[in-house]
């Protein structure tokens, strides 16, 4: 990797990088050994070293990735948390998380990796045995990829493959079987989106609203501990429904390899490097849960660093590592093409709005308390959870997902912060609202992929509405019975 890095920099830049690293190494040695160089307090020396090394890099190398390195180094100072750094630099941890995650995912999307994974599943000997195995492989691989890729971007990759599958099956526009499979395709992508917060703004926004209100973060691992089982339950119901309830008829279809996935070039050095880095980012997200008993110190650091730390590290590595003289990601290009700014803007507005709505001085708490208390008193915990889940489910299928997250989550948190004694785990409910906001099945305003599907002629608004509503009811049931039940156990330490 060091050879790859050196090929992308001029000699003067390499010298500057070495000088910068030596300054940082001196600060680490001074801190670890408590040497007290120049009779300067250790923390003061460390701050000055970070400033000096950053200045060298800014003046003689670049301003983008050295800035990320500067933020990372500041997080290692004693009594300093990454939450404080994000608050003072970008304003909010959730904003930072999405920004850097967009960058890391953009690098992955520029490779053939996603198509390669699809080809591995669809063109496999196992999938070619029968039409139902083929459909299972197709939907399963889309479910898997959607757990870490934006749903709209994935659908734009999957839709041409779907059309090629329809040609292979001998199905035409207007065919009921083609319509059912298209609904199942985008439903699978929606379910995978709900299962993890990785690169998925809906769940992250809900978790961010909870953290803003309670000062406690919900980790990716905690979210996935109940969201993955709930999502897999919905996916299983989808598969069962597709065959035995919707009665999709595949008796006359012909199987064969998908041509567009058969001639992919071999993975080059750039793709392998990008996939490795992306895998490392995902691993860092999940390690705090795994290392809790093995390496408690490392787990504690990763937890305190928060969810924005791994993609920030990943973005730095992608910008620094060069293959064939070019960086894996040019930050300026990644920021302009890979970062979805409208999502970041609404997240910023949502989190700020949520903090004001939950502020007792604003009077909203009192108003909501007086209106909703008579309605909530006497309801069982599961019924109360069901009310909020159904609310989020229906609203997200007729309006903006992020607006749904903002409104429903904020109201739940606001009620919980009032005098109303809610007998529910607010952390789990908030997370499940983000979960349900990902499950857009029914109408064009819900998600772009539904509008594209209906507009393509392969399905109709009626089919999307009917099949989508059917799935939505099962999704709400799974969120309550599976998601909330497991979440209440795994997140019992949270309120």
Q: Where are the domains of the chain?
A: 10-80, 87-99+113-248+338-494
Low-confidence stretches of the chain (pLDDT < 50) are: 1
pTM: 0.80
* Distance from C-alpha of 236 to C-alpha of 231, rounded to nearest angstrom: 9
* Distance from C-alpha of 146 to C-alpha of 494, rounded to nearest angstrom: 28
Q: In the prediction, which pLDDT does 86 show? A: 75
Burial class (CB in 10 A: 0-12, 13-18, 19+), 206: buried
Based on C-alpha coordinates, what's the Rg of the chain? 25
Q: Within a 13 Å sphere around the CA of 172, how many CA atoms are in the beta-carbon half?
A: 0
359-365's contacts with Cβ under 8 Å and 24+ in sequence apart are: 360/417, 364/414, 365/414, 365/417, 365/418
Q: Which two tokens stand for residue 37?
A: 């160089």
Q: In the prediction, which pLDDT does 21 show? A: 93
Q: In the prediction, which pLDDT does 379 show? A: 75
258, 124 in Cβ contact below 8 A? no
* Distance from C-alpha of 297 to C-alpha of 397, rounded to nearest angstrom: 43
Q: Which of 114, 183, 133 is nearest to 458 (CA)?
A: 183
Phi then psi for residue 327, to 5 deg, are -65, 150
Q: In the prediction, which pLDDT does 291 show? A: 67
């Amino acid at each position: 990797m060091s050879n790859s890095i050196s090929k992308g920099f001029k000699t003067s830049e390499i010298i500057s990088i070495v000088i910068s690293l030596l300054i940082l190494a001196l600060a680490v040695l001074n801190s670890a050994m408590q040497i007290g160089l120049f009779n300067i307090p250790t923390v003061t020396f460390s701050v000055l070293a970070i400033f000096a090394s950053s200045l060298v890099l800014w003046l003689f190398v670049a301003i983008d990735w050295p800035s990320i390195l500067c933020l990372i180094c500041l997080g290692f100072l004693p009594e300093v948390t990454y939450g404080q750094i994000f608050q003072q630099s970008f304003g909010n941890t959730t904003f930072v998380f999405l920004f850097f995650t967009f960058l890391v995912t953009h690098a992955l999307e520029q490779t053939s990796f996603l198509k390669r994974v699809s080809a591995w599943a669809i063109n496999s000997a196992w999938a070619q045995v029968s039409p139902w195995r083929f459909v299972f492989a197709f939907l399963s691989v889309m479910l898997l990829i959607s757990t870490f890729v934006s749903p709209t971007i994935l659908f734009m990759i999957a839709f041409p493959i779907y059309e090629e599958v329809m040609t292979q099956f001998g199905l035409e526009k207007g065919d009921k079987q083609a319509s059912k499979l298209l609904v199942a395709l985008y439903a699978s992508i929606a379910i995978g989106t709900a299962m993890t917060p990785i690169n998925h703004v809906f769940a992250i926004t809900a978790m961010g609203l909870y953290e803003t209100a309670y000062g406690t973060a919900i980790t990716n691992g905690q979210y996935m501990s109940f969201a993955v089982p709930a999502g897999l339950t919905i996916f299983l119901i989808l598969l069962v429904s597709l065959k035995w309830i919707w009665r999709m008829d595949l008796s006359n279809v012909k199987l064969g390899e998908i041509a567009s996935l058969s001639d992919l070039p071999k993975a080059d050095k750039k793709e392998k490097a990008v996939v490795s880095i992306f895998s490392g980012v995902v691993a860092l997200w999940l390690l705090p849960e795994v290392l809790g008993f093995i390496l408690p110190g490392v787990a504690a650091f990763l937890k305190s660093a928060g969810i924005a730390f791994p993609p920030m590290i990943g973005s730095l590595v992608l910008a620094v590592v060069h293959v064939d003289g070019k960086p894996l990601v040019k930050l300026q290009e990644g920021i302009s093409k890979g970062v979805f700014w409208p999502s970041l803007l609404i997240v910023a507005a949502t989190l700020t709005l949520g903090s004001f709505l939950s502020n007792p001085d604003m009077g909203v708490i009192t108003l909501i308390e007086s209106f909703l208390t008579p309605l909530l008193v006497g309801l069982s915990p599961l019924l109360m959870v069901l009310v909020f889940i159904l609310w989020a489910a229906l609203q997200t299928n007729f309006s903006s997902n992020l607006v749904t997250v903002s409104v429903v989550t904020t109201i739940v948190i606001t009620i919980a912060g009032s005098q109303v004694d809610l007998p529910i785990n607010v952390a789990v409910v908030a997370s499940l609202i983000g979960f349900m906001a990902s499950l857009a099945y029914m109408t064009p305003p819900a998600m772009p992929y539904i509008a594209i599907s209906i507009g393509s002629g392969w399905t109709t608004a009626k089919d999307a509405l009917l099949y989508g509503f059917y799935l939505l009811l099962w999704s709400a049931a799974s969120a309550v019975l599976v998601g909330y039940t497991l979440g209440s156990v795994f997140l019992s330490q949270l309120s």
